[in-house]
């Protein structure tokens, strides 16, 4: 370790001293040589008795003036100016001047003649010496790199940088991972193999060398990998795939080799690579050519995972939310041959996750975590952890000793709807917002097969001036066509209410229109819910299953079909808008009652909405 530390330091110091020596020598020679003048100027100064010393070496001469003279500056900084010099140099003519030496003697100039014998060899040595020194230092560095392997380059620059955890430092087990029972069952086989590999090897069994954890962000992929290491009690190496890539060619492959070499020294062991898609993308998919640094790193990873050693007892666990972009060679048997899909937890798993995160937080007796779990559909484990932490912060801010249901509800609203914004809104805009949100809530309440209204508010939250929150009674995995059509009606209810009451529409329905258009497009293009088009699918910007982002897709249908798709999308939206108009026009009294209650109370929960509509 000390040798690795001192080597680059000594090499750097050597180069600094060498440069300082060369610089000092050049400055000294320049100072001794002085300003270069013409031979005519030299004879003129000699005639003026202004030269006191002269050194002759072959046809070159350098000397010193009695009184400084002005000559044009040659440096960039002083260009165009005259400077005073006392030292000079000049070149004697090839035809000897017979009057030079007598005049030097007559002017009592101190003349020194230097022999030129052997100067050629000395000049050659002085010219080649720096090159010999540079080549010698380079060979010294390269020999050290060959001895130390890739980690010796630039003092360990090619080391993987992976964080190593021993079994004593990992205190996470499957008991700390709430939910994900199917995923944990898949990984228990890996744990059994790491605990007793001979049990599998004796009967010729092979446990997967690589396990790929696939799922949305925040679902606990990294936590699950740490739990595998904690259960098996083996060393755990953790690294992000982006840490392999550098601007220097070959560093990524060297870091992969170093990572696996470190893991093989501590068999059995686990290597965890987070965000595998950063290095595992399909080769040739980028714009940088067919063999860039990332592809070299990927090739080395493929080689390390399925090389010539069949029993390395190194299990690679990787996590990604972009399995669609991974190279097929990574997913074949012998590498990442087992995919474990981790979906968002259902309400039962959410309740277990909440119990884990509230183990060290004092809760009020009235808190029922199952109610919170049912009211947080779509939330991941990371979201629920943030919810509990936000509730604890709210309780501490109010100087409370326990976290109550009110803090948990406020924290949930902040995460789902955004934080409250304290802004001044005119009475007219507040009235428009009230009728807009009342339209959403009333349509949702009047239509069957819709999610219950949980809360309606006209307090600005996030980027919205008001929010109508619906929460399903249970997690949904299938969406009937009637349910989706009703969702279109609910989303358009706010815009329709504005048209009925104010005979105009506002820009407040922007997010509603975006949601309606995307939902209608999915109904027509992905789910075959169009009567004219029928059971067909058309890629029009496929939504990524884990990130919720639209990915570019090549158009595979005609212009006529594209026109028909647009017509069917518009037909669904216009039909839903007409249905919402019919419902709200026939229930104007309920619409006014709900809007007036919002103007007075600002926030209404689901029970309060039902009370108002029952008496209107």
pLDDT at 554: 63
pLDDT at 23: 57
Does pLDDT of 98 surpass 80?
yes
Which residue, 542, 578, 538, is CA-closest to 561?
A: 538
Residue 237: pLDDT band (50, 70, 90) is confident
Q: Are 595 and 435 in contact (CB under 8 A)?
A: yes
Backbone angles phi, psi at 31, to 5 degrees: -65, -40
- The answer to the question of whether 220 is labelled as a binding residue is yes
- The answer to the question of whether 216 is labelled as a binding residue is yes
Least confidently predicted of 112-126, 299-313, 482-496: 112-126
Q: Are 498 and 458 in contact (CB under 8 A)?
A: no
**Helix, coil or strand: residue 372:** helix
What is the rounded distance in angstroms from the CA atom of residue 346 to the CA atom of residue 1?
A: 50
* Beta pairing class for 550-551 and 542-543: antiparallel
User: Which residue is listed with tokens 């040739």?
Assistant: 284
- The answer to the question of whether 436 is labelled as a binding residue is yes
Does pLDDT of 239 surpass 80?
yes
Q: Where are the domains of the chain?
A: 35-114, 166-283+292-341, 347-417, 427-615
Which residue, 436, 457, 454, is CA-closest to 584?
A: 436
pLDDT at 307: 60
State what percent of residues in the chain have pLDDT above 70. 80
R_g of the chain, CA atoms, integer Å: 40
Of 45, 231, 351, 437, which one is the catalytic site residue?
A: 437
pLDDT at 575: 94
pLDDT at 437: 92
Q: Which residues of 305-326 are buried (b: 16+ CB within 10 A; e: fewer)?
A: bbeeeeebbbbbbbbbbbbeeb
pLDDT at 289: 46
What is the rounded distance in angstroms from the CA atom of residue 574 to the CA atom of residue 572?
A: 6
pLDDT at 520: 93
What is the rounded distance in angstroms from the CA atom of residue 54 to the CA atom of residue 103?
A: 13
Which residue, 229, 222, 324, 239, is CA-closest to 273?
A: 239
What is the rounded distance in angstroms from the CA atom of residue 220 to the CA atom of residue 352?
A: 13
C-alpha distance across the termini of the chain, in Å:
81
Does pLDDT of 143 surpass 60?
yes
What is the rounded distance in angstroms from the CA atom of residue 329 to the CA atom of residue 454?
A: 48
Residue 21: pLDDT band (50, 70, 90) is low
What mean pLDDT, rounded, does the chain reach? 80
Q: What top-level class would CATH report for the domain 35-114?
A: alpha beta
- The answer to the question of whether 579 is labelled as a binding residue is no
- Crossing angle of helices 427-446 and 481-502, rounded to 10°: 150
When pLDDT is averaged across residues 366-375 and rounded to a whole number, the result is 85
pLDDT at 275: 86
Does pLDDT of 480 surpass 70?
yes
Residue 554 annotated in active site = no
pLDDT at 490: 94
Q: Are 578 and 567 in contact (CB under 8 A)?
A: no
The token pair that represents 65 in the structure block: 């003036």
Residue 340: pLDDT band (50, 70, 90) is confident
pLDDT in tens, 396-433: 998 888 998 888 888 888 887 777 777 777 888 889 99
State what percent of residues in the chain have pLDDT above 90. 14
What is the rounded distance in angstroms from the CA atom of residue 348 to the CA atom of residue 168?
A: 32
- The answer to the question of whether 440 is labelled as a binding residue is yes
pLDDT in tens, 195-210: 777 777 787 777 677 8
- Crossing angle of helices 181-195 and 221-232, rounded to 10°: 30
Which residues is 110 bridged to in the sheet? Answer: 53
Sequence-distant (≥ 6) Cβ neighbours of residue 557 within 8 angstroms? 538, 565
Does pLDDT of 541 surpass 80?
no
Q: Which helix (H) or strand (E) holds 316?
A: strand 314-320
Does pLDDT of 1 surpass 80?
no
Backbone angles phi, psi at 469, to 5 degrees: -105, 125
**In CATH, what is the architecture of 427-615?**
Up-down Bundle (1.20)
**Helix, coil or strand: residue 119:** helix
Least confidently predicted of 51-65, 175-189, 283-297, 362-376: 283-297
Domain 347-417: give its CATH code: 1.10.8.60
What is the rounded distance in angstroms from the CA atom of residue 250 to the CA atom of residue 158?
A: 9
Q: Are 524 and 573 in contact (CB under 8 A)?
A: no
pLDDT at 246: 66
pLDDT at 123: 62
- The answer to the question of whether 512 is labelled as a binding residue is yes
What is the rounded distance in angstroms from the CA atom of residue 307 to the CA atom of residue 256?
A: 13
Q: What top-level class would CATH report for the domain 166-283+292-341?
A: alpha beta
Q: Which helix (H) or strand (E) holds 524?
A: helix 510-525
Does pLDDT of 19 surpass 70?
no
Q: What single-letter DSSP state applies at residue 157? A: T
């Amino acid at each position: 370790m000390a040798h690795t530390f001192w080597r680059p330091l000594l090499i750097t110091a050597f180069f600094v001293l060498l440069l300082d020596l060369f610089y000092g020598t050049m400055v000294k020679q320049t100072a001794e040589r002085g300003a270069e003048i013409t031979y005519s100027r030299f004879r003129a100064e000699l005639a003026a008795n202004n030269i006191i010393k002269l050194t002759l070496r072959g046809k070159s001469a350098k000397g010193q003036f009695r009184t400084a003279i002005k000559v044009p500056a040659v440096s960039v900084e002083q260009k165009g100016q005259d400077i005073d010099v006392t030292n000079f140099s000049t070149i004697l003519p090839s035809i000897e001047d017979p009057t030079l030496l007598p005049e030097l003697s007559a002017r009592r100039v101190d003349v020194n003649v230097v022999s030129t014998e052997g100067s050629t060899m000395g000049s050659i040595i002085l010219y080649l010496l720096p090159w010999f020194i540079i080549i010698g230092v380079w060979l010294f560095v390269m020999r050290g790199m060959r001895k130390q392997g890739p980690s010796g380059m630039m003092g360990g620059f090619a080391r993987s940088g992976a964080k190593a955890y021993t079994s004593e430092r990992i205190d996470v087990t499957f008991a700390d991972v709430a939910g994900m029972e199917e995923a944990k069952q898949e990984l228990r086989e890996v744990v059994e193999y790491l605990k007793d590999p001979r049990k599998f090897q004796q009967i010729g069994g092979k446990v997967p060398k690589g396990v790929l954890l696939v799922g949305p962000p925040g679902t606990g992929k990294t936590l699950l990998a740490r739990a595998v290491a904690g259960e098996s009690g083996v060393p755990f190496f953790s690294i992000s795939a982006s840490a392999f890539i550098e601007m220097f060619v070959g560093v990524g492959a060297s870091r992969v080799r170093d990572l696996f070499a470190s893991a093989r020294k501590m068999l059995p062991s686990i290597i965890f690579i987070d965000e595998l898609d950063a290095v595992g993308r399909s080769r040739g998919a980028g714009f940088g050519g067919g063999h860039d640094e990332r592809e070299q790193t990927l090739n080395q990873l493929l080689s390390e995972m399925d090389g010539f050693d069949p029993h390395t007892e190194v299990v690679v666990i990787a996590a990604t939310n972009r399995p669609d972009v991974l190279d097929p060679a990574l997913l074949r048997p012998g590498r990442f041959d087992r995919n474990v899909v981790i979906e968002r937890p259902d309400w039962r798993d959410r309740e277990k996750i909440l119990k884990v995160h509230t183990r060290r937080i004092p809760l009020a007796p009235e808190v029922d975590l199952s109610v919170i779990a049912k009211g947080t559909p779509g939330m991941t484990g990371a979201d629920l952890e943030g919810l509990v932490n936000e509730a604890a912060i709210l309780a501490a801010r109010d100087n409370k000793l326990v976290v109550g249901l009110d803090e948990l509800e406020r924290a949930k609203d902040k995460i789902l709807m955004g934080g409250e914004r304290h802004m001044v809104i005119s009475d007219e805009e507040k009235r428009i917002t009230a009728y807009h949100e009342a339209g959403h809530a009333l349509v949702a309440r009047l239509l069957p097969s819709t999610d219950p209204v949980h809360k309606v508010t006209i307090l600005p939250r996030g980027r919205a001036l008001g929010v109508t929150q619906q929460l399903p009674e249970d997690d949904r995995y299938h969406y009937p066509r009637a349910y989706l059509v009703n969702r279109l009606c609910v989303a358009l209810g706010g815009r329709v209410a504005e048209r009925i009451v104010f005979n105009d529409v506002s820009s407040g329905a922007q997010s509603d229109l975006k949601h309606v258009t995307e939902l209608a497009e999915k109904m027509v293009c992905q789910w075959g819910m169009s009567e004219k088009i029928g059971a067909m699918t058309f890629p029009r910007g496929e939504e990524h299953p884990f990130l919720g982002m639209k990915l570019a897709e090549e158009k595979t249908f005609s212009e006529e079909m594209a026109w028909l798709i647009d017509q069917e999308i518009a037909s669904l939206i216009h039909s839903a808008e007409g249905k919402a108009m019919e419902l709200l026009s026939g229930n104007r009294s309920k619409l006014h009652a709900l809007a007036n209650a919002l103007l007075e109370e600002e926030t209404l929960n689901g029970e309060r909405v039902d009370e108002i509509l029952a008496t209107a």
